[in-house]
Every structure is written in structure tokens, then in C-alpha cells.
A and B are shown apart, each in its own frame.
Chain A
Amino acid sequence: MGTSAIACEGLCKRFGKATALGGLDLAVPEGAVYGLLGPNGAGKTTAVRVLATLLRPDSGHARVAGFDVARQAAQVRARIGLAGQNAAVDEILSGRQNLVMFGRLYHLPIGAARRRADELLAQFALTEAAGEPVRQYSGGMRRRLDLAASFIVAPRVLFLDEPTAGLDPHGRNEVWQTIRTLAGGGTTVLLTTQYLDEADQLADAIAVIAAGRVVAEGTPGDLKSLAGGDRIDVVLRDAGDLVPAARLLQARFRADVRLDNDSRELSVPVTGRLATLTEIIRSLQDENITAEDITVRRPTLDEAFLYLTGQQPPSSGTAAPAPASPSSLPR
């Protein structure tokens, strides 16, 4: 115990004047599925590229599977798998040919490479399409093949850089399922994503990064609590009541009320759940404002993200219903 599969301290990387990593610290325990969450340009991909020995950091240290990424790159490479933002497989070759080729490059004897390819094709539900050229595969199938290729030697640490970028919801579910299976086998997974629901679905722990540094770290639950406790959402019957009701509640609770015109919804951060709920209902009744629906809920990861990075989440994915374009209250 106490060993980290991935440990880095003060990683810095600049490209010209742009800072991609501004002192990144991470400690990912053995066997964890760790989410690196941040918007485009936050440094997620650069972090993965440094940890996967593709890029040398300007300063700082990183150890992966116990080896230094800069000085012991060969040892690190023998113990990692990498699936980048594109499905990095050969489109002209068949799925099986791809896996046999990658197996050979991991120096498996030809017989073992073939057996391993067939095992992986079965494990990733690609046996039927094994002989087809990859360019005929769907997006989800390509990603699964890509994951299979990164899993040939059952790596100690698997890097997945936005593994579902560009996939439709069906393809994304397929890939999520595959990642859960891989993680179940004890491999440490470092996953980058800009989809909040993806981190929520897959990761045991999340680091939110912005400008190449960790701005918050914890379980998905911890991060939601950081966003400022529970919220009460009120859906009004009349869109015209939205602004008066928001002003009323803002004055009443001295809280930052957010409103959404499309769904006629107000969102109020609260501390005492039931007491606040009854007060909201009473205040609205006093002003003859009719509420259609009232819900008490934990904050979403979107709200945590907004709070932590001070910017809009770039995308909330498709699986989790995110609040649609919340705007600040006009004053």
C-alpha cells in the first residue's frame, strides 16, 4: 500500500509562450480509475503525453509504474498502454492484423501474438469483424480496437485520452462498458475527459485541472460538495414570473439565484433543506406565483466544474441532463 502507480511533482511544460503544464502534481494509487477533468487547453493531453513518455517535461518529475518517465522511458513503455484522441489503428489492415502487428511490436512470438489477438477480439466483441478492414468499422468499434491494442500486454497503467471524443451515445456506452471491464482487472487507468458525466460514471477519483494545474481533487461526491452544497430547483408555470420570483428569492436568501428561461426554472443554493423549502413555497404563494415543480438536489458535477474553474463547462455530454445555459440574474 501507499505506492502510487502514477506520481508527478511540479510538472511544467511550455510551448513557446503558452504554458501547457504549470506545476502539475498527481498521485494516483495502484488500481484506481482516475479522471483528469478540464476544458480544452487545460493541459490534459500534454499531461498524458508527458506521462506516456512522448514528451519531455521542461521541469518536474514523474514516475509511472515505479519508473522515471524521462530517464527510464523504455521501462515505462513496457508497462503502459495508451489510447489517444484518435483511434490510432491502421485503417487498411483488418482488426486482427492490427492486433497481431502490435503484439509483434511488444515482442510476443508470432503464435502468442495471434492467440492474444484472438483473445482480445473476443473480449472486445470484435470477433465477427476481425477480418474486415478497419475503415469499415463504426466509430465505437474503432475505439474498442484501439483500446484492445493498448491492452495487449495487460499494462500496469493505461492512459486514455478522451476515449469517447466524437462518439455517438451508443458508441460511448460501448466504450464505457469496455473501460469498466478493463479497470475491473486491476489496471490503473488515467482517463482524461471534458465530459463531466463521463468522469462521474467511470472515475473513483477526479482531479479538475485548469491552466495545467490541479485546482481540485477528490471523489465525484467530494467535488459536488465543493460546489456549495444542495440546491433547490423551482419550475414556474409562467415565464413572466421568472425575474420577479428570482429577485424575491435572491433578496430573501441572499444567495446567487440562477435562472433558465427555456425551462422556466430557478435554482437556489441552500443550507437547511426543509426549512428553506417551506420558506420558498410560502414566499412564492404570498406573491401569487405558481410553482409547477420543486426539487431538492445535490449539485451536479457541471456546477462543481463551473465553481472550481470559473468557466462554463465546455460540454456536458449527452447522458446526464445538465442545466441548459444557466444565466445570471439581470439586475
Chain B
Amino acid sequence: MTLTPAPPGTLHSRLAWAITDAWVITCRDLAHWARQPGAVIANTLLFPILIVLMFGYLLGGAMTVPGGGDYRDFLMPGMFAMTMVFGIGATLAAVSADAARGITDRFRSMPMATSAVIAGRAAADMLNSAAALAVLTGCGLMVGWHPHRGATRAVAALALLLLLRFAFVWTGIYLGLTYYRNPEAVTAARTLEFPVGFLGNPFVAISTMPAWLSAIAQWNPLSSTVSAARQLFGDPTGSHPSWITDHAVLMAVAWPLLLIAVFFPLSLHRYRHLSR
């Protein structure tokens, strides 16, 4: 009995082959959710909701937004973006676990399209993040937040958030394939997610920060996406006039594209040369 598959010849059939492979890998993650609904609900859904409630109600009373506006309206775009940041850890953990346990090597020894494993990973993570964003939006609507500038701008804001997540997918894949032998590094990367958020504008307005910190915070790629989302949703922006804040939408496109341009080729290279 020989079932040996023939690797495809033409460009068209190669592409179809790669898409099939990537889809099988994506389905693997979807099957994980079906097998462990509890873990998915806790990690991707409950955690952001908990933070919305904590910051919105517990700490929110002490917060004032410079330039005026409701703190919960200010917070929601920040929370959307933080959910995208938390995705780095999820990608990193999944990628490093597969690499450490030899599953990635099994894939690499199979007649699969080279790009399929990481492309499938990226697709699964994007689906996961889109679902998380949908739940968080629902949560926002329940605490009284809503977009003020129409559906088109709201969709554009969500698209910018997912673009940031897409950039973080490649960051996470690269870090996962680089540090999979070192579980401490993986844990450290995950605990660094919060500081990344606090060194930006998701929770507090940049104008309240000391000068040196505000310089860092406004050039944090996360801040551009948050500012752009606030503008597009019509939420308070915590007025901080500067070049980068004035061009928030442009920078919310530019930063993720830059990250993708750096980490996509690095990820592919790491995958191809995984064995040290």
C-alpha cells in the first residue's frame, strides 16, 4: 500500500496545497476550543471583561480624562487594544509549546507547504481575537459605551485593532520559535504585556504623564492604535496635541505594517531553520 502524495508542480496547485495545509492547522485550533471551552472562555473572554469592570468601576471613579469626557468611554478603546496585546502571549505560548514538544518538527518533516504552519497559526489567532473583540464590544455596550461617529468609522476602528493584532501574531510567532527552549523567557514575555500597556495610553491619558514617560508612551505603537480608535469611535482622547497623536490613524496603519515587515520574514526564517 502506497499513499505517497505527489507534491504539486504548478504555482496554482502549490497555492491550493498551501491553503489546504493552513486550513487544517487552523481547524486544529478550532478543535482545541471545542475540546476545552472553559479555557477559551476564561483566557480570551472573561479576563478582558474583568479588567473592564475593575478599571471602569473600581478605579474609574478616581480617574478624570483631561479635556473632559467619561472615563469608561475613554477606557473601552484602550481595553480593545490591550486584548490585542494579550494575544501576543497566547500566540507565543502556543507556538513555543508546539516547538518544544516536537510537533513543529513533525510538521516540518511532512510534505507540507513551508508557510502553512505559521499561516494556520495566524489565521486561528486572528479568529480568536476577532471573537474576543466581539465579546468585549458587547461588554462595552452593556457598561454604556457606544460608537458616536457611525458604523463605518467604528468598523474602521475595529479593523485597525485587528491589524495591530496581526502584527502581534508575527511578533509572537517569532518570539515563540526563538525562545521555546527557555520556558522562563516565555513566562517573562507574558508578564511584560501589562507594562507594555501601562507605557502607553490605554488606561491613562498621556498628558498626565511626566515628560520622559509621555515621550515613550506616545511612540508606543499601541498608543497610536488606541488614539486612532478613540478618534474613530468618537470617544474622549485625553487631549495631547503632538505630531504623532494628530496622525494617529496614519500611525495606526504604519506601526503594524512596520512590525509585520520585520517579524513576518523573521518568523518564516526561524521556522525554516528551527533546529538551532
A residues adjacent to B (C-beta < 8 A) = 15, 49, 52-55, 74-75, 77-80, 82, 84-90, 92-93, 97, 101-102, 104-108, 112, 116, 133, 149-150, 152-154, 156
Partner of B106, one of A82, A116, A156: A82
Task: Say yes or no: B28 contacts A88, CB within 8 Å.
Answer: no
| Seed contacts A150-B106, A156-B4; 8 additional CB < 8 Å A-B pairs | A75-B7, A84-B102, A84-B106, A90-B32, A101-B27, A105-B110, A105-B112, A107-B17
Q: Which residue of chain A lies nearest to B276 when distances are taken between CB atoms in the complex? A: A15
B residues adjacent to A (C-beta < 8 A) = 1-7, 17, 20-21, 24-25, 27-28, 31-32, 35-36, 101-103, 105-112, 274-276
Task: Say yes or no: B4 contacts A79, CB within 8 Å.
Answer: yes
Specify which chain A residues have a CB less than 8 angstroms from the CB of B105 in the assembled complex. 49, 54, 82, 84, 88
A24 and B25 CA atoms in complex are apart in Å by 36
Main secondary structure of the interface of A (DSSP, over half): loop
A149 and B21 CA atoms in complex are apart in Å by 16
Task: Say yes or no: A106 contacts B111, CB within 8 Å.
Answer: yes
Task: Say yes or no: A78 contacts B111, CB within 8 Å.
Answer: yes
Specify which chain A residues have a CB less than 8 angstroms from the CB of B24 in the assembled complex. 101, 104-105
Q: Which residue of chain B lies nearest to A81 when distances are taken between CB atoms in the complex? A: B109
Task: Say yes or no: B274 contacts A152, CB within 8 Å.
Answer: no
Partner of A54, one of B27, B32, B274: B274
Partner of B35, one of A78, A82, A89, A133: A133
Instruction: Give the tally of cross-chain contacts (CB within 8 A).
Output: 92
A89 and B105 CA atoms in complex are apart in Å by 11
10 A-B Cβ contacts within 8 A?
A78-B5, A78-B6, A82-B109, A84-B105, A86-B102, A106-B3, A106-B111, A152-B3, A153-B3, A156-B4
Task: Say yes or no: A105 contacts B107, CB within 8 Å.
Answer: yes
Task: Say yes or no: A88 contacts B102, CB within 8 Å.
Answer: yes
Task: Say yes or no: A74 contacts B111, CB within 8 Å.
Answer: yes
Specify which chain A residues have a CB less than 8 angstroms from the CB of B108 in the assembled complex. 53-54
Specify which chain B residues have a CB less than 8 angstroms from the CB of A84 in the assembled complex. 102, 105-106
Partner of B31, one of A93, A153, A154: A93
Task: Say yes or no: A89 contacts B5, CB within 8 Å.
Answer: no
Task: Say yes or no: B275 contacts A149, CB within 8 Å.
Answer: no
Specify which chain B residues have a CB less than 8 angstroms from the CB of A150 in the assembled complex. 106
Specify which chain B residues have a CB less than 8 angstroms from the CB of A97 in the assembled complex. 31
Task: Say yes or no: B3 contacts A154, CB within 8 Å.
Answer: yes
Task: Say yes or no: B4 contacts A153, CB within 8 Å.
Answer: yes
A154 in contact with B275 given A88-B106, A90-B28 (CB within 8 Å): no
Task: Say yes or no: B275 contacts A54, CB within 8 Å.
Answer: yes
